[in-house]
Chain A
Amino acid sequence: MAYPANYKYTKEHEWISADGTAGTVGITDYAQSSLGDIVFVELPKEGDTLEAGKIFGSVESVKAVSDLYSPVSGTVTAVNGELKDAPEKINDDANGTWMLKLDLKDASELDGLLSAEQYEAFVSEETGH
């Protein structure tokens, strides 16, 4: 399955995996394949506060630059520095390549996100398949 069942998803194509209040965020396989070759990822700094539904960075492919939206609110605890030199890792493995880790402000925000099944249905609706 392209979308791990233990992740939660946004309609803006980010995923989040959470363990208590520790969250890890990336973009979905659908997002990476729509963007094409990713050449640059712009991420916040450690210690920055993110708000659910607000822009926290951008991802640039050879075709377009797309904004990244935070699935939940929280404080950034780590940023994946590898992406600075190797942004193509996201194309290689979107589910396994994290962008940032954060300390969730309110874990109940996760309940408002899509399940893997719901996200898959949303994507097929969006692509008309």
Chain B
Amino acid sequence: MRYLPKSPADREEMLREIGVDSIADLFATIPAEYQLTRDLKVPRQHSESEIIDRFREFAENNATGYASFLGAGAYRHYKPVIIDSLVLRGEFLTSYTPYQPEISQGTLQAMFEFQTMICELTGMEIANASMYDGSTGAAEAMMMAVRVTGRDQAVIARTVHPEYREVIATYAQHQEIPIAEVGYAANGRVDMAALDAAITSETACVMIQSPNFFGTIEDVAAIAEMAHAKGALLIVAIAEAVSLGIVKPPAEADIVAMEAQSFGVALSYGGPYCGVIACKEKFLRQMPGRIVGETKDMDGKRGYVLTLSTREQHIRREKATSNICTNQALVAMMVTIFLTVYGKQGLRELAEHNLAKAAYLKGVLSADAKVLFEGAPRFHEFVVETPAGAVETNEALLAQKIIGGLPLAKWYPELGPNASLWCATEMTTRKQMDAAAEALRAVAATELTRA
């Protein structure tokens, strides 16, 4: 196939065929006042060396040498170099989610391995070949529960990531799914009494996050029992996939929706990330997206096929199970390679490493700040109340190249202006944590003088 630009003669011929005189005639339906008549004023073309210089200049504007204590759904973890060298291979990099899938056996095998590892990690029976991200995965899980149960309401814990809840609300608004939100108890876990009261005979699903937005691990088994007693499904959202290295898989859930960014995907200002949906096998036909299956060909050799795409948008149009008709194949590949490199034992050690770092951070910060929500197990994030406002504190820390915890007042005003969410991962050094604690002490001292 030739990829050649159109010649003036080609254009003439096409215009004649359509029956118009000029390209401008094609835009005649757009009112003149909205038509751009001047030149676009894009910069002149640059040579390759000029472009490289220009981007080098841009790169110098990047902030380097900062210590970051941000988490809240996007986590800094080490990314083994083998991930980039493998995903940049042309066979993987250029293949979009395949529409004629069976000729891409390598891509299908990688997706099959992804699904298998996700099932082992989450304790679910089936997993699809990935979703956009954790938030859309959670929203799709809710709609799946509505289809499975024939009920149309959802109960969601306020400790589910606030931005996931915003995405869910966007979907729910147009699907006409009323949402009831349930608050948290003094230990940072979902308020069980309020949860029990919120679940009705119209509740399709209960959604919690574990570890939740405050870093606290929920009692999944108890919540599952409560949801199931009233015929609702339990959806467990997971924003920090590395936690599964040490936290018990939420096997009591009916659907698990997860963000897998922590597994070898760069932070990249928030995307592209890798969403996951895994569930019990009996919900297979209500699951959005696609599944890769293993089979044998006519010669009895192992082969991979794409199954269930009959329910997707490109075949079933407006009756599709979901309008998510694609997946994050390349990003899912990063996750697959990460999990293969770390392995079961390596992932456990990584999780333990994160836990230890967070314990140290908590120790040094508590000298001058109060750690909230004690009394329930956590992973590597926790809420602290600093002596001064979280925003002001962060400004002072930033001057010392320290990015402090995420101020929470925007989503949890009841926690006050001094509450922020701190995170430590294996990337956080002891030196950085000591420096943060010291900077916090300086802010606290200033605050004392002022008072």
A interface residues with partner B (beta carbon < 8 Å): 40, 42, 60-65, 67
> In the bound complex, what is the Cα–Cα distance between A62 and B309 (angstroms)?
9
> In the bound complex, what is the Cα–Cα distance between A64 and B314 (angstroms)?
11
CB distance from A84 to the nearest CB of B (A): 12
List the B side residues contacting A40 at CB < 8 Å. 285
Known: A40-B285, A42-B285. A63 touches B319 (CB 8 A): no
B194 within 8 A of A: no
List the A side residues contacting B315 at CB < 8 Å. 64-65
Nearest residue (CB) in B for A60 is B310
Given contacts A42-B285, A65-B311, A67-B319, 11 further A-B contacts (CB under 8 A): A40-B285, A60-B285, A60-B310, A61-B310, A62-B310, A63-B310, A64-B315, A65-B310, A65-B315, A65-B316, A65-B319
Tally of contact residues, B, Cβ under 8 A: 6
List the A side residues contacting B285 at CB < 8 Å. 40, 42, 60
List the A side residues contacting B319 at CB < 8 Å. 65, 67
Q: List 11 A-B contacts (CB under 8 A).
A: A42-B285, A60-B285, A60-B310, A60-B311, A63-B310, A64-B316, A65-B310, A65-B311, A65-B315, A65-B316, A67-B319
CB interface residues, B 309-347, toward A, < 8 Å? 310-311, 315-316, 319
Nearest residue (CB) in A for B312 is A65
**Complex interface bits, B245-288 against A, C-beta within 8 A gives 1, otherwise 0:** 00000000000000000000000000000000000000001000
CB distance from A10 to the nearest CB of B (A): 18
Instruction: Tell me how many residue pairs across A and B have CB atoms closer than 8 Å.
Output: 17
> In the bound complex, what is the Cα–Cα distance between A82 and B397 (angstroms)?
68
B interface residues with partner A (beta carbon < 8 Å): 285, 310-311, 315-316, 319
List the A side residues contacting B316 at CB < 8 Å. 64-65
CB distance from B281 to the nearest CB of A (A): 13
Interface of A is mostly: strand
Nearest residue (CB) in B for A63 is B310
> In the bound complex, what is the Cα–Cα distance between A63 and B311 (angstroms)?
10
Scoring B285, B310, B311, B319 by chain A CB atoms within 10 A of each residue's CB, the highest score goes to B310
> In the bound complex, what is the Cα–Cα distance between A67 and B319 (angstroms)?
9
Nearest residue (CB) in A for B284 is A40
CB distance from B399 to the nearest CB of A (A): 60
List the B side residues contacting A61 at CB < 8 Å. 310
CB distance from B231 to the nearest CB of A (A): 15
Scoring A40, A63, A64, A65 by chain B CB atoms within 10 A of each residue's CB, the highest score goes to A65
> In the bound complex, what is the Cα–Cα distance between A67 and B316 (angstroms)?
10
CB distance from A55 to the nearest CB of B (A): 9
Nearest residue (CB) in A for B150 is A45
List the A side residues contacting B310 at CB < 8 Å. 60-65
> In the bound complex, what is the Cα–Cα distance between A64 and B319 (angstroms)?
12
List the B side residues contacting A62 at CB < 8 Å. 310
CB distance from A53 to the nearest CB of B (A): 16
Nearest residue (CB) in A for B308 is A60
CB distance from B303 to the nearest CB of A (A): 15
List the B side residues contacting A65 at CB < 8 Å. 310-311, 315-316, 319
> In the bound complex, what is the Cα–Cα distance between A42 and B319 (angstroms)?
14
CB distance from B304 to the nearest CB of A (A): 15
List the B side residues contacting A42 at CB < 8 Å. 285
CB distance from A69 to the nearest CB of B (A): 13
Nearest residue (CB) in B for A45 is B150
> In the bound complex, what is the Cα–Cα distance between A61 and B315 (angstroms)?
12
CB distance from A99 to the nearest CB of B (A): 17
Nearest residue (CB) in A for B305 is A62
List the B side residues contacting A67 at CB < 8 Å. 319
Nearest residue (CB) in B for A39 is B310
> In the bound complex, what is the Cα–Cα distance between A102 and B310 (angstroms)?
29
Nearest residue (CB) in A for B321 is A65
> In the bound complex, what is the Cα–Cα distance between A116 and B448 (angstroms)?
92
List the B side residues contacting A60 at CB < 8 Å. 285, 310-311
CB distance from A39 to the nearest CB of B (A): 9
Nearest residue (CB) in B for A67 is B319
List the A side residues contacting B311 at CB < 8 Å. 60, 65
6 closest residue pairs by CB, A with B: A65-B310, A64-B310, A65-B311, A65-B316, A60-B310, A64-B315
List the B side residues contacting A64 at CB < 8 Å. 310, 315-316
CB distance from A40 to the nearest CB of B (A): 7
CB distance from B19 to the nearest CB of A (A): 31
CB distance from A35 to the nearest CB of B (A): 10
CB distance from A110 to the nearest CB of B (A): 28
CB distance from A33 to the nearest CB of B (A): 17
> In the bound complex, what is the Cα–Cα distance between A57 and B127 (angstroms)?
25
CB distance from B97 to the nearest CB of A (A): 19
CB distance from A83 to the nearest CB of B (A): 14
CB distance from B311 to the nearest CB of A (A): 6
> In the bound complex, what is the Cα–Cα distance between A60 and B310 (angstroms)?
8
> In the bound complex, what is the Cα–Cα distance between A60 and B312 (angstroms)?
12
Nearest residue (CB) in B for A40 is B285
> In the bound complex, what is the Cα–Cα distance between A40 and B321 (angstroms)?
15
Nearest residue (CB) in B for A62 is B310
CB distance from B285 to the nearest CB of A (A): 7
